[in-house]
Amino acid sequence: MPTDAPRYALEALFGTQAAELINHIPHCKRLGMEVVQVGPREATVKLPYRDELIGDPVRRVVFGGVITTLLDHASGLAVFCSLPELTAIATLDLRIDYLRAAEPGCDLVGRAECYKLGAQVAFVRGSAWDRSRDDPFASVHATMMIGANASVSPVARAVRERSGT
């Protein structure tokens, strides 16, 4: 018996480098994050290296909070890319395992996949790397609440502004 293909609210943005998926969050915009790729249930985000992001001036590695923001945002986007309708989400749990220090001077890339979407909770896993996706410096497991509040989601607002509706 055939099943209907899933419907994704952000499908029109899949595969694009849509700045509106970053610009609605001032912190992410200030950090200079860029959307690399979004698709069904997944998102890849890049953080270009800049000296102002250094957390350890001796080793010149990026501050851990910046890496947390990168992976939290990629995880949230992966959930948004899983939803049939845009609604507000909130991070319930975010676990990051630092496997090694990110290499100084390298852009950082975070990729997340929403591997289970429930009615109220989404589950995400992913990783971050610098030189090669095959050699991650961090991994993430996240749990996101769907329909976190009654307000219009910032992503929904950004998408509406882009389409003029």
State which CATH number among 3.40.50.720, 3.10.129.10, 2.40.50.70, 3.20.20.70 fits the domain covering 11-163.
3.10.129.10
pLDDT tens digits for range 119-129: 999 999 999 99
Query: Angle at CA 122, nearest 5°, toward 97 and 163?
Result: 110
Domain spans of the chain, in order of start: 11-163
Rounded CA-CA distance 22/35 in Å is 7
Instruction: Map residue 47 onto helix, strand or coil.
Output: strand
The answer to whether 140 and 127 have CB atoms below 8 angstroms apart is yes
Read off the pLDDT of each residue in 142-152 and give the average, rounded to a whole number: 83
Among residues 126, 129, 152, the alpha carbon closest in space to that of 139 is found at 126
Which pLDDT score is estimated for 149?
A: 73
pLDDT tens digits for range 51-105: 999 988 899 889 989 999 999 999 999 999 999 998 999 999 999 999 999 999 9
Tokens 């610098």 label which residue?
130
Task: Band the pLDDT of 141: cuts 50, 70, 90.
Answer: very high
